[in-house]
Amino acid sequence: MNSNQLPVNEYSKFNATYIQALENVELLEELEISLHDFIKFIQNIPLDKFDYSYAEGKWTIKEIIQHIIDTERIFSYRALRISRNDKTPLPGFDENFYVDNTNAKNRSIQDLLTEFSAVRHSDIIMFKSFSEEQLARIGIASDHEISVRAIGFLIIGHMKHHQKVFGERYL
């Protein structure tokens, strides 16, 4: 399925920002392409920028990379639960609390990118394993209905959103 074919009733208005920013991409293909594009993008950032934040109280690039990793893990867990027809409503999470409780500032960029790559590769394998029926299943996450396939596009769109922010505010 491609992102332009995803029915808008499969995700919330909040998630629309991330999903509708994708330009007609195919889910499995873009999970792979965006992995390599993101790593290449990060590797081209000057080393002195990784601990920089553009304003007081804003996250550093390292912290944002960790946020992307943590968020992708949470989203993929939601996708797994919903794909297995688990009807339990899944709670939201406080992204600021998560970032405040990481060790991102003390990690190397290579370590963060290795973790990101491992998480994304795991997600690619998981999404490839889903049947069309499983991809279309809808569950509740953060008090809103969302489909498994919408979560896949959300993973991509969330990462691309932060990559865009890097370019606009950090570089």
Instruction: Give the per-residue pLDDT at 1.
Output: 85
Instruction: Give the per-residue pLDDT at 156.
Output: 98
Which amino acid makes up residue 51?
D
Q: What is the CATH number of the domain that holds 84?
A: 1.20.120.450
Instruction: Give the per-residue pLDDT at 13.
Output: 95
Instruction: Give the per-residue pLDDT at 66.
Output: 98
Residues lower than pLDDT 70 in the chain? none
**What total number of domains does the chain contain?**
1
Instruction: Give the per-residue pLDDT at 132.
Output: 97
What is the pTM for the complete model shown?
A: 0.96
Q: At how many degrees (to 10) do helices 27-43 and 148-165 cross?
A: 20
Domain that holds residue 163: 3-170
